[in-house]
Each structure stands twice: as structure tokens, then as C-alpha cells.
Chain A
């Protein structure tokens, strides 16, 4: 007589079942992404507009001195490429949070939350799914950028991957945390004005921090404390096979903090069904 032993946690689920759940959530997110072609196109067009128009205009007025990780003078387009990669992930993270608010309004979120698997794990799966989608977008951008002579060392395409995963998780977790506080879809426009634009512009995505420091020491410190700055720098260094340890630590800590915050915010005791809503839902 033979017997097989499957390791199960205290809720009675095996590792294989956790993996099945993760696959299912990633698969569903990918399907939604494929169905929303406009989302993919706009996710690509946005950074390309910055690269082809904004950077082309700025290269003549903004000189870039030799700063790590670059070993020589570089074109402005090369400088902003990591920032645009992070921008793709920033928008994707906020798009994911927008989709969570939509799911909550439409009721789809309940399907996820009544799953017997631990809620923190379910949110983590959502996060991984959103990050996977952002990676597709970033690599599509890198492919197009390569034709524009933005070509990091070939190994850079590989070494940047862990950084992209980490920064994608951080920005996705931030989006998730924000989504927990948004009661209605209409309120999401505020996220654009108060989160995405300030994070993007008050960072090293478009200009080196030493230039910011020259013009405004206060803004320099704002940039320094902006986690998006560190996501950009983490990607920038990784693209050239290097590690910016400070940025790595900041991004890792922020990922953990945002994730814990999101799990807390989606805790059942805080309530997820809008009370007193129409249709007798009380």
C-alpha cells in the first residue's frame, strides 16, 4: 500500500493549492489586460511620447554630467529611460488600484475576498499579478527604445528584472493601499493629481538630483524621501549590472510597509461592503 503525504498549512491548504490560486489570479489579470487593448497601447504610448518628444526637446538644454552608474557622457534619452520604465510601473500600479475600486463597486471583489485562502495571501497574489502585467509593458517599451539607440548592455535586460519586480511590487502595494481608502470610482481622479504627478516630478526620473539641489534644496530633500526616486535609481543601476544598496533598502522597506498597510486596510473588521447602499444592502 502506498501513501502520499501532502504538506498542508493550518487552514488545510497544500502548497500546490496556493500556487493554483496564484496562477488563477495572474491568469485573470492577464486576460483582463489582453481584453483591454487600449490600456496596453496607452501604457506604451505615454513613455514613448516622453522619450520621443519631451526628451528630444530637452537634450539640447539639459546636459548630463558623468554620474553613476554611467561611465561616460550620455544622451538625455538614455538618462530618462529608467525613469520612464518606473513611470510605466507607477501608472500600472495605480491602474491596478483603479481596477480594485471598480471591482469593489461592481461586486467582483467579493468573489476574491470570500475565498478560504488567507486574505493577505490573496492580496499578495493580486500584487504579483499586477507586477507581472507591468513587466510585459516595460519590456515592450525597452524593445521599442532599443530602436531609438537606448541600448543598455545586453546583460542589463536580465539584471534589471529583479529590480523591476521589486519596484513593481512597491508601486502596486501603494496603489492597493490607496484603493482601500477610495470609496467611489469618481474619486480616483484625485489620485492622479495628488499621487502620480507629484511622485513622478519630485523624483530623479527626469533630472539628476544634483541639478534639483542646485535649484531648490527643499525640493531636493522631497525627492530624496520620495520612494519613487529610489525605484528609479534601483532600476537605473540594475540596468547597468549594478546595485544601489540604499535604493534597494528603501524600496524593500516601502514594499513591506505598503503591503502591511494594504492588508490592514482590507481587514474584515474595517468592513468592505458599503453600508446602507441601494437595493436593501444593509
Chain B
């Protein structure tokens, strides 16, 4: 099995080398994936991998193709070209095996606002075939961990934005996945709530060995030691450890490295427009 490399990381970008992740041992492997909406190409020959127990940031402007990629990984869209594997299970051919190892937090909220916190968790557990007694134990456990045990009976619509996000992450972990996808999980949250959620997700990586793919357009959410995938107009322009991408782009930080790779105008220290 060969290691996956960013097949379209050319276009004048530096030769960023990914960590040694083969499709067989990758938490997530994306190989040659393309997707089009009619004549408009949203993803073009995208390839990269996420190692188990690693934090990989997927950085791109709005419209870069991040959400399309997430829809393909989660099988909301059918795969038109290429292969996506989750711990060696092909999403197209064995979706059940692949999806049971996957937890997802979508960009838009997917909680049922009229149900309580616990009811949302129990519903998710049922969708994964987890028996009610076990589901109750797990939901009590995750609610304690995320500090929402005292809100277990509250309706979701009464929670703050940060609490809802934490609940969505807790829900995504209820069936004990080995790979967690988060699509712009901190959008719309205040600075503290953003920091808390990011810290919590990084703890999941270090303490529970979960592989994380974190889609974002915010530079300050990426640490130098993270793996980084730069997605721009449907193409992977850079893939590898963030510090390598910065160094090989001859830049001083992720902001300027991103600017050099994409040619985008970026506010110093601020989010990608």
C-alpha cells in the first residue's frame, strides 16, 4: 500500500510532504476525489490522509470545497470519482462499516431544538443501534464530561451557542467513533467558547486517540504541530505538518503561507475573508 500524497499540490506550491500515512493505517484516506455540480467543479483530484490520534486542519476560504468534501465523506453525496476510506473501509462500497467509525459535527446545527439534551443524545444512540440502557449510561457520562449534566432535561433551544456546539460534539462521540469530523465547528461563537471547544477536541486526540479532521477558515485555530491541508478552489495546494508548509512557503506564519499559496488577500491575524 502506498502512502497518500497530495496529488494536485503543484501549481507553484512548495513540496510539502505529509506524514507517513498509508491508506491501510489511515483514519481517513482521500484518494483522487473529484466532484462537480453540473459544469462547476467543486473538488478536483483531492488526496490526503488523516492519521489516527492526530489533529488535521482543513484550511480554506468559504467556497473552497470543504463542505462538499464533508458531504462525500459522510455519504450525503455519492462519490463521483476517487476513493474515500475510513480505517480501510471504503465509504462507497461499505458505508455501514465506515460510518460506524465516524463522528460528525456539521457546519449548520443539526440538533432537534424541541427535544431535551438527553433526548437528542438518546435519539442519536438509537440511530447507531445502541440499546437504551447503555445509551443512558453513555449520555450521562458525556454530559458530565462536557459540563452539561445539570442541563440534561433542558430543551436544546434554551442552550447557548457554545453549549449547543459542545452538545453536538458530545453527540458525535456517543457511539465511540475513531474519527471525528468537524466542519467550521466554532463559527458564530465567542472567543472563550471557541477556545474551550478547540481545547476539548485536542484533548480527545491526545487522551482518547481519536483522529480529527477540523475544517476551518480561521488561522488562529491551527497550531504549528498540526497536520494541515490547504484547500483552495477545490484543489489541495498544500498538505503536511503546518510548520513544514510555512517553512517551505518561505513565510513567517500560516497567514502569509496561505497567502503565498493561494494569492488571496488576507487580513493579518484575522480570518480568511
Whether A20 contacts B130 by the Cβ 8 Å rule is: yes
Expressed in whole angstroms, the Cα–Cα distance for A118 and B97 within the complex equals 11
Is B20 interfacial (CB-CB < 8 Å)? no
Interface stretch, picked from B6-14, B22-30, B50-58, B119-127, is B119-127
Residues A22-56 near B (CB distance < 8 A): 23-25, 27-28, 31-32, 35
Chain A contact residue count (CB 8 A cutoff): 44
**What 0/1 pattern do residues 122 to 164 of B give for CB contact below 8 A with A?**
1111111111100000000000000000000000000000000
Residues on B with C-beta less than 8 A from A166 are none
Knowing A28-B123, A273-B77 are in contact, say whether A280-B114 is a contact too (CB < 8 A): no
Chain A min CB distance to B122 (Å): 7
Expressed in whole angstroms, the Cα–Cα distance for A116 and B175 within the complex equals 11
Chain B min CB distance to A27 (Å): 7
Whether A110 contacts B97 by the Cβ 8 Å rule is: no
Knowing A21-B126, A24-B125, A279-B108 are in contact, say whether A268-B184 is a contact too (CB < 8 A): no
Knowing A25-B126, A279-B107 are in contact, say whether A31-B75 is a contact too (CB < 8 A): no
Whether B114 contacts A32 by the Cβ 8 Å rule is: yes
Is A66 interfacial (CB-CB < 8 Å)? no
Whether B67 contacts A107 by the Cβ 8 Å rule is: no
**What 0/1 pattern do residues 252 to 282 of A give for CB contact below 8 A with B?**
0000000000000001111111011001111
Q: Which of A17, A106, A280 contacts B66 (CB 8 A)?
A: A280
Is B248 interfacial (CB-CB < 8 Å)? no
Chain B min CB distance to A274 (Å): 10
Is A13 interfacial (CB-CB < 8 Å)? yes
**What 0/1 pattern do residues 78 to 96 of B give for CB contact below 8 A with A?**
1000000000000000111
Whether A282 contacts B67 by the Cβ 8 Å rule is: yes
Knowing A12-B96, A24-B126 are in contact, say whether A282-B65 is a contact too (CB < 8 A): yes
Interface stretch, picked from B98-106, B221-229, B239-247, B254-262, is B98-106
Chain B min CB distance to A123 (Å): 13
Whether A108 contacts B112 by the Cβ 8 Å rule is: yes
Residues on A with C-beta less than 8 A from B115 are 28, 31-32
Expressed in whole angstroms, the Cα–Cα distance for A113 and B122 within the complex equals 16
Expressed in whole angstroms, the Cα–Cα distance for A115 and B110 within the complex equals 13
Whether B129 contacts A114 by the Cβ 8 Å rule is: no
Residues on A with C-beta less than 8 A from B47 are none
Knowing A108-B110, A110-B110, A116-B96 are in contact, say whether A275-B119 is a contact too (CB < 8 A): no
Residues on A with C-beta less than 8 A from B66 are 280, 282
Is A60 interfacial (CB-CB < 8 Å)? no
Residues on B with C-beta less than 8 A from A280 are 61-64, 66-67, 107, 184, 217
Is A18 interfacial (CB-CB < 8 Å)? yes
Is B42 interfacial (CB-CB < 8 Å)? yes
Knowing A20-B132, A31-B115, A280-B66 are in contact, say whether A271-B96 is a contact too (CB < 8 A): no
Expressed in whole angstroms, the Cα–Cα distance for A276 and B62 within the complex equals 10
Knowing A16-B131, A116-B95 are in contact, say whether A271-B65 is a contact too (CB < 8 A): no
Closest to B234 in A: A282
Expressed in whole angstroms, the Cα–Cα distance for A16 and B126 within the complex equals 11
Is A219 interfacial (CB-CB < 8 Å)? no
Give me the interface of A with B, judged by CB distance under 8 Å. 10-14, 16-18, 20-21, 23-25, 27-28, 31-32, 35, 106-108, 110-118, 122, 267-273, 275-276, 279-282
- Besides A281-B108, A282-B67, A282-B68, 16 more A-B contacts (Cβ < 8 Å) are A13-B129, A25-B127, A28-B126, A107-B109, A108-B112, A110-B110, A114-B75, A115-B127, A117-B127, A271-B76, A273-B76, A275-B68, A280-B67, A280-B217, A281-B67, A282-B63
- A-B pairs, top 5 by smallest CB distance, nearest first, are A24-B126, A17-B129, A269-B78, A11-B96, A280-B62
